[in-house]
Amino acid sequence: MQNSMEKPKALPFITIAILTKNAKKDIEVTLQKLREIDYPKDKIETILVDNGSTDGTHKMVERKYKNVKIILLDKNYGMSALNNAFKIAKGEYCMVFDDDSYIEKKGLKKAVREFRNDALLGILACNIINPYDNSSEFKYMPKAGKSIKWCDFIGGGVAIKTEIFNKIGYFSQDILIYGHEADLAIRALNNGIGIKFAPSIHVYRIVMPNAMNATRMKLSIRNFLGIFWRYTSIPLAFSATCGILIEYAILAVMHRLPVAYFKGIGLFIKNIPFVIKNRKPIKKSVERAWSEDYPITMRNFCRRMLKIYSP
């Protein structure tokens, strides 16, 4: 039991990493909101990775937010561009946002508390909320209560213990967008690093999430199929393939994207040599836990359709 006279442990240094591309208005709102966080300003560094913007984003940030470090890239490298921030991060934890998201005022302190209460915790998924209707992007997760063990996260609002990058690497350069979180998460779990979802830590996304479109359809099919065939056993990969193809076929009909659907399958077929070359099946115990929780498996696809899925 902690001595009542013992001083509280000092708050750690935190790195805020943000990725942007041609979103000058959104990033200005985000950076302004981050100024309002209830956390010592001398214990925060903010790194903005600019994925080849052409709208003058970096000039605005340099003029109005002089404390923000800017990494200017020559083109769009997708989500792996964040690796540039992770590699120079000084913080004990990296708090990752999109250019249209920001955390509640006491969110950083809540996140630190979660990590200090669980030595194995490496990734903490925050509850990403639409501020206009208060809906959560985690459709199948608890909306309140204590943090729970999980197997994934959404990159627009996640806290990552910086040291885990030395053990599991960074976001895959093979994945431009869609599925990069699952790829990192499965490597983390396979290395004994815990992941939790914190429904009580709110991150607000200013702009509504992207609706299903041709790009999302193609890349999601390619990437999620690639993840299962790269990391899981043949039976689970086959089962997941059935679930993914059925679900995205339904979405293709709903959103009138049949061409994108078949192009996504084609992209996966082209990616098979990479998958085979880099295939590293995860531990059986991790695979069992992953298949129990991860929404995109045949089992959980059926459970979601029947509205009985829960983590």
User: What CATH number should be reported for the domain holding residue 146?
Assistant: 3.90.550.10
Domain of 279, in residue numbers: 214-305
Residue 9 lies in a domain: no
Residue 6 lies in a domain: no
pLDDT class for 307, splitting at 50, 70, 90? confident
Check whether residue 193 and residue 291 sit in a common domain.
Answer: no
pLDDT class for 301, splitting at 50, 70, 90? confident
Check whether residue 36 and residue 132 sit in a common domain.
Answer: yes
* Residue 310 pLDDT: 78
What's the domain count of the chain?
2
Check whether residue 32 and residue 136 sit in a common domain.
Answer: yes
Model-level pTM?
Answer: 0.92
Residue 22 lies in a domain: yes
The residue from 179, 205, 231 where one domain ends is 205
Residue 133 lies in a domain: yes
Check whether residue 157 and residue 18 sit in a common domain.
Answer: yes
**DSSP bridge pairs for 68:** 46
Residue 278 lies in a domain: yes
Q: What percent of the chain shows pLDDT beyond 90?
A: 82
* Residue 121 pLDDT: 98
pLDDT digits (tens, 9 = 90+) for 4-52: 444 557 999 999 999 999 999 999 999 999 999 999 999 999 999 999 9
Check whether residue 186 and residue 235 sit in a common domain.
Answer: no
Check whether residue 193 and residue 298 sit in a common domain.
Answer: no
pLDDT class for 139, splitting at 50, 70, 90? confident
Check whether residue 28 and residue 99 sit in a common domain.
Answer: yes
Residue 7 lies in a domain: no
Check whether residue 36 and residue 142 sit in a common domain.
Answer: yes
Cβ neighbors of 179 (< 8 A, separation 6 or more) are 219, 220, 223, 224, 226, 227
pLDDT digits (tens, 9 = 90+) for 152-198: 999 999 999 999 999 999 999 999 999 999 999 999 999 999 999 99
* Residue 211 pLDDT: 76
The residue from 156, 179, 205 where one domain ends is 205
137, pLDDT greater than 50: yes
Check whether residue 196 and residue 226 sit in a common domain.
Answer: no
pLDDT digits (tens, 9 = 90+) for 188-222: 999 999 999 999 999 999 876 667 899 999 999 99
Q: What percent of the chain shows pLDDT beyond 70?
A: 96
Residue 42 lies in a domain: yes
Rounded average pLDDT over 78-93: 97
238, pLDDT greater than 80: yes
264, pLDDT greater than 50: yes
**Would you mind telling me the total number of residues written for the chain in this entry?**
311
86, pLDDT greater than 60: yes
Check whether residue 47 and residue 134 sit in a common domain.
Answer: yes
Check whether residue 220 and residue 201 sit in a common domain.
Answer: no
Check whether residue 129 and residue 250 sit in a common domain.
Answer: no
The residue from 205, 228, 255 where one domain ends is 205
Rounded average pLDDT over 50-79: 95
* Residue 252 pLDDT: 97
Residue 4 lies in a domain: no
pLDDT digits (tens, 9 = 90+) for 219-235: 999 999 999 999 999 99
Rounded average pLDDT over 101-106: 96
